[in-house]
Amino acid sequence: MLWNEDSLESRLKRIFLFCLLVQIGCCTALLLWLPLLQVVLITVILTLTLSVMFIGLYAQLMKVFRRSGTQMDALQSQDFSILVKPVFQEGIVAEFYQQFDALRESLQRHKSHYNQQLFVLYQMIDHLNTPILVFDHKQRLSYANGAFAELFGRPWQTLRHAEPALLGLRATPEWQFADEQKNQDWQIRLSRFVDQGENNQLLIFINIKTALRNQESEAWQKLIRVLSHEIRNSLTPVAALTQNLLEKAEGEREQQALTLINERCQHLQDFVSRCAEFQQPLNAQPQTLPAQHLWNLLTGLFPEAQLQAKGLHCQLWADPVLLQQVLINLIKNAVEAGSPTGSIDIVFTNNGTEDEIRILDCGQGITNPENLFVPFYSTKSHGQGIGLNLSRHIIEQMNGQLTLTNRADGVGACALIRLPAQHYYLNKTNGQTYSISKQI
């Protein structure tokens, strides 16, 4: 039983008692040869000496384990600043401390390398324009990049520690939006990683609608290039031949026919030129643009429409030439849609991360929303079907969005332009994002 104890302390105490009993037995045997007083004195001295030596050794041994335990707790907490002073400078215990310290340094190097990798990871996340969210082991938002504000309308810091439901998300059976419309526009990809010993989930939000539209736009641009080339090749000789025949024609009827052919050739050339604008990249040069200044230009161009405005105190961040071109096209559409005089409202607003412009009319509304931005499609008798697509292209070149919907009250349509605010646009175009770096 002596050597089968569960703890070192109990075994040491039993060994001490055993040694004490042996000592007492030896001292009792001495009674046969020495006087009682001498035997008692020897017994006391030996007992005290054995006790002092044992207690000192026991205390030092316990100190070794306690210090080791303290450093082990620190390592488990990833605190590598604690360096334990060895109880013994030589021997097996000193060797044990050296090995323990080598382990501490190795773990510290691994932790430093891991922190560097994690820091680089978060820096990369910050530079991406795709919304990326990190949820901790309790499924609470712990980090996100600047693109979070584009998707959720506010900086992620204001929703730190928010649960998925507060963000309109569901985590089971798989990550998705609670809004089915957003599920059609966004795909969520999930990755898992371990940070500080806890399991984390990294969500990447991919805008499927934008990707599909980019592919569609590329396809249209290729088609337009081919059509423009073929039409120009055919129009040039036809226009030249028509002009020659017009100079030689004597009959009034022949002149009218040739004049009509020449006009249609010119119309086709203008049409091809406008198509070429659709495929050309735009060099947007945004600047601070007072809404009042933009409003003065628009009222001068459309005096008969008697435009109404709200939020003229707002400051926009946009290319004034390009934005004016888009607004002219949208207001022209509102007028041609039959909106009565004085019924077109332009509303300017700033919400921190975005500047918004709403154009509200009381016309006939949108009859075929599926084909709004399809090139060459138009419900107007003289329309070419390029204006809206070109307008959206211009707004997207300024990192904005253009949407057109029927008004909730069923009277007319609403064109909504969203543009990033100045500070957010500058951070985004400089390869940075509107966010606070995660502290590692």
Residue 1 pLDDT: 41
Q: What is the mean pLDDT of residues 349-360?
A: 86
Q: What is the mean pLDDT of residues 286-312?
A: 87
Rounded Cα distance between 393 and 417, Å, is 12
Q: Which residues of 395-418 are buried (b: 16+ CB within 10 A; e: fewer)?
A: bbebbbbbebeeeeeeebbbbebb
Residue 400 pLDDT: 85
pLDDT digits (tens, 9 = 90+) for 62-98: 777 777 777 777 777 777 777 767 666 776 767 777 7
Q: Is the pLDDT of residue 348 over 90?
A: yes
More confident residue, 256 or 60: 256
Q: What is the mean pLDDT of residues 95-108?
A: 78
Q: What is the mean pLDDT of residues 377-396?
A: 63
Helices and strands (H, E) in the chain, number of each type? 11, 13
Q: Is 269 helix (H, G, I), strand (E, B) or coil?
A: helix
Q: Which residues of 149-182 are buried (b: 16+ CB within 10 A; e: fewer)?
A: bbbbeebbeebeebebeebebeeeeebbbeeeee
Q: Is the pTM of this model over 0.95?
A: no
Residue 437 pLDDT: 29
Q: Is the pLDDT of residue 201 over 80?
A: yes
Q: Is the pLDDT of residue 263 over 60?
A: yes
CA 50 from chain centre, in angstroms, equals 71
Confidence of residue 48 (pLDDT cuts 50, 70, 90): confident
Q: Is the pLDDT of residue 380 over 70?
A: no
Q: Is the pLDDT of residue 2 over 50?
A: no
Strand duo 401-406 + 308-310: pairing: unpaired
Average confidence score pLDDT of the chain: 76
Reading the block at residue 129, the tokens are 């324009």
CA distances (Å), origin 267, targets 61, 237, 240, 272, 336: 101, 15, 15, 9, 21
The DSSP-derived string for 308-354 is: EEE-TT-EEEE-HHHHHHHHHHHHHHHHHTTPPTT--EEEEEE-SSE
